[in-house]
């Protein structure tokens, strides 16, 4: 019975090959248990994070490597024909190279996270790199690692790498010409990350658009305006435009011109400026000591007082402006100060001959 042939191999040979694969599964299970219950516990007691990350990164490639080795041994001992073994050898040249590349990629990714990520979760890392740059750095390094691994895998099975690289170079040039705007946006995103022009959560103004930054990507930046609209701006436009980071200002500067009627006496004008100068005592959002009130002009139809004040960084901008305007209106009305409106007085000389 055991010597009966099935597809050129005895039942005993098929059974031994199957047992090798089952044994590999058992070995993998033991490796997982040892790593989870022994290695990781030892790593948790150490002071560094690297061993914790490596224990997590190494396990999947090692498990795959054990299975690849077991399948190679189990199939290699069987008589399955020269063509099959040639195909198996080429396939394993690629699979082993890809598995080693996967191992290196996982280790490098964990090392980047360990070396660049700050323990306190601040906006900058140990090497003073903005946290938004970490995914970009990791992705770039992994692309290089995988590109090298794939080229080596193709080289191992006899593919001419120089010819392949030449083909990829021509294709890359054509792709670059066809995607110039995308490349500009990507470089714009890198520039925003490196210059730290603004971050997620900042309020910025670009031309006539003002809103809160909700996402900064490689291709575009998304703003949420005050009316709730989502505005998507290409990064290439941001690096060429004038960007005002409102969140970085110590306070919002507000300038108002108030016009009083020409029958306002000098004493009333001084009273008006005194009311405006003491406004920070009545309105909580106004920065104390920031108010400037000055009699600046004799306008066409009014005596103009210019009011300059700053809204606190943490205060509601629109809400504070509303409170300030209500305070001015109520205080001026109580003091009998009249706001001017556009008017024109025409004097006619009755003694002149109009005929």
Q: Is residue 170 part of a domain?
A: no
Beta bridge partners of 312: 251
236 plus 116 within the same structural domain: no
The CATH number covering residue 209 comes to 2.30.30.60
Q: Is residue 307 part of a domain?
A: yes
Let me know whether 234 and 278 are in one domain. no
What does the angle CA 117 – CA 120 – CA 125 come to, to the nearest 5 degrees?
35
- Single out the residue of 307, 327, 202, 325 nearest to residue 254, CA to CA: 307
| pLDDT for the residue 110 | 79
- Give the domain-ending residue among 210, 231, 248: 248
pLDDT tens for the chain, residues 1 to 355? 556 666 667 777 788 888 988 998 999 899 888 888 887 777 677 666 666 666 777 888 888 888 888 888 888 777 777 887 788 888 888 888 888 888 888 888 877 777 666 554 444 444 445 555 667 677 778 888 888 888 888 777 776 666 655 555 555 555 555 555 666 666 666 677 666 677 778 888 888 888 888 887 767 788 888 888 888 888 777 777 788 887 777 778 889 999 999 989 999 999 999 999 999 889 888 988 889 999 999 988 889 999 999 988 778 888 999 999 999 999 999 999 999 887 666 767 666 555 4
Q: Does residue 355 form part of some domain?
A: no
Do 127 and 230 fall within a single domain?
A: no
Q: Is residue 166 included in any domain, yes or no? A: no
Q: Which domain holds residue 206?
A: 192-248
Same domain, 149 and 221: no
The DSSP H or E segment spanning 24 is helix 11-34
**Do 204 and 255 fall into the same domain?**
no
Q: CB of 15 within 8 A of CB of 78? A: no
Residues 10 and 152 grouped into a single domain: yes
- As for how many domains the chain has, the answer is 3
Pair 223, 261 in one domain: no
CA distance 110 to 104: 10
Residue 64 domain-assigned (yes or no) = yes
Tell me: do 231 and 291 sit in the same domain: no
- Both structure tokens of 62: 């090692």
Tokens 């009316």 locate to 227
> Both 149 and 30 in a single domain?
yes
- Examine the domain organization and report whether 215 and 113 are in the same domain: no
Q: Are residues 88 and 140 in the same domain?
A: yes
Domain identity same for 12 and 151: yes
């Amino acid at each position: 019975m055991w010597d009966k042939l099935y597809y050129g191999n005895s039942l005993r040979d098929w059974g031994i090959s199957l047992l090798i694969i089952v044994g590999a599964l058992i070995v993998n299970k033991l490796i997982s248990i040892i790593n989870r219950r022994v290695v990781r516990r030892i790593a948790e007691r150490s002071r560094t994070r690297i061993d914790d990350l490596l224990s997590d990164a190494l396990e999947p490639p090692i498990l795959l490597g054990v299975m690849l080795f077991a399948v190679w041994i189990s199939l290699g001992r069987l008589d399955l024909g020269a063509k099959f073994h040639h195909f198996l050898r080429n396939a394993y040249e690629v699979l082993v190279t890809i598995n080693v590349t996967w191992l290196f990629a996982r280790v490098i990714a964990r090392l980047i996270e360990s070396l660049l990520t700050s323990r306190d979760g601040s906006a900058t890392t140990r090497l003073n790199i903005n946290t938004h740059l970490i995914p970009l750095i990791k992705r770039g390094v992994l692309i290089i690692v995988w590109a090298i691994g794939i080229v080596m895998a193709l080289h191992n099975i006899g593919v001419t790498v120089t010819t392949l690289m030449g083909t990829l170079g021509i294709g890359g040039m054509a792709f670059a010409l066809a995607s110039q705007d995308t490349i500009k946006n990507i470089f714009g995103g890198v520039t925003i990350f490196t210059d730290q022009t603004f971050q997620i959560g900042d309020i910025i103004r670009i031309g006539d658009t003002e809103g809160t930054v909700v996402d900064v990507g490689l291709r575009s930046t998304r703003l949420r305006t005050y009316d709730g609209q989502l505005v998507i701006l290409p990064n290439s436009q941001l690096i060429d435009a004038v960007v005002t980071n409102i969140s970085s200002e110590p306070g919002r500067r507000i300038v108002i011109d108030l016009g009083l009627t020409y029958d306002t006496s000098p004493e009333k004008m001084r009273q008006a400026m005194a009311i405006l100068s003491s406004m920070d005592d009545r309105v909580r959002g106004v920065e104390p000591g920031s108010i400037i009130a000055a009699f600046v002009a004799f306008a066409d139809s009014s005596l103009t007082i210019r009011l300059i004040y700053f809204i606190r960084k943490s205060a509601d901008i629109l809400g504070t402006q509303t409170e300030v305007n209500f305070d001015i209106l109520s205080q001026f009305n109580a003091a009998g100060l009249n706001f001017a409106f556009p008017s024109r007085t025409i004097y006619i000389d009755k003694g002149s001959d109009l005929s």
